[in-house]
Amino acid sequence: MPPTAPPLDHLIQALSSPPHHLPVKPTYLSSLLNALSSSPRGLPPPPALIATLKFRLLAADISVSLSSLPQHCLPPQLTTTPTGWCGEVRGAVLQVMDMVDITMSNIEALDALDMATRGERAQGRRGEIIRVVNDEDGGDGLGEDRERTKKNACHKLLLEDAAGRRVWALEVERIEGVYVGMGIGGKVWVGKAEIARGVMLLKRDGVKVLGGKVEALDKSWKDGRREVLMRRIEEHRGGR
């Protein structure tokens, strides 16, 4: 006899709790369960079901899949006084909409993008160019050298909650899983972070990268990456 789904409230509690931190909407969860039930394989056993649901939620747009209740979202003051508000965020689940390595100039970022597109990468202090056979990031030209990312980078992320509010966040400390080329639409849980003058300050003990990506958002960001960098360079040069 094929397994039956656990009670809906049990699944919601399991997905909302650590280590998942995914407060799914009941209606969206029901639609996922219906789709799985009607598949040829049917519903998997409970542990595999939780893993499958987590995978689907990490690949879904936060605005349709996760709860927009206040305890899971950014403070509304960010919308009314975006640059002047100071406060704290606790327990927010957000998705990545944009990212910048502020230790790199736009020209350096463009050069790195063009090299990676050609299957090349700079290595070592002298910047020796090497050929990359198997790009970790799938050959899309957006992967960073992970060692450089870990040691030197500082990222600025544009994060969005399920209610559509957005905030720029800055790494005060390096956060594992944050790098240029990480999945757009990927989920981040902010257990605790200060907001100073409208900017969220990220420290490693208060943030967890949950992963995932939304394919449509990720493709759009990657397709437009070179154009964005070129525009920023021209604006900086006064060629706007």
User: What domains sit in the chain, N to C, each tagged with a CATH number?
Assistant: 8-58 (no CATH), 70-237 (2.40.50.770)
- Range of 77-81, 106-110, 122-126 with top mean pLDDT: 106-110
Q: Which tokens is 132 given? A: 């990359």
Peptide bond preceding 19 in cis form (omega within 30 of 0): yes
Do strands 199-202 and 193-196 pair parallel, antiparallel, or not at all (unpaired)? antiparallel
Least confident of 147-151, 197-201, 233-237: 147-151
pLDDT of residue 115: 79
Q: What is the DSSP letter of 160?
A: E
- Which of these, 38, 66, 41, 64, lies nearest to 54 by C-alpha position? 66
pTM, two decimals, is 0.84
B/e letters for 53-72, b = 16+ CB within 10 Å, e = fewer, are bbebbbbbebeebbbeeeeb
pLDDT of 139 above 50: no
Percentage of residues in the chain having pLDDT higher than 70: 84
Instruction: Give me the chain's average pLDDT, please.
Output: 86
Dihedral sign computed on CA atoms, order 151, 153, 154, 159: negative
Least confident of 3-12, 115-124, 192-201: 115-124
- Please work out, in degrees rounded to the nearest 5, the angle formed at the alpha carbon of residue 51 by the alpha carbons of 193 and 162: 40
- Comparison of pLDDT for 44 and 121, the residue scoring more: 44
pLDDT of 190 above 60: yes
Give the pLDDT band (50/70/90) at residue 2. Answer: low
Dihedral sign computed on CA atoms, order 24, 160, 170, 81: negative
Give the pLDDT band (50/70/90) at residue 215. Answer: very high
pLDDT of 4 above 70: yes
Counting every residue written for the chain, the total comes to 240
The helix/strand count (H/E) of the chain reads as 8, 10
Percentage of residues in the chain having pLDDT higher than 90: 58
Q: Which tokens is 172 given? A: 């005060």
- Which of these, 82, 89, 103, 99, lies nearest to 198 by C-alpha position? 82
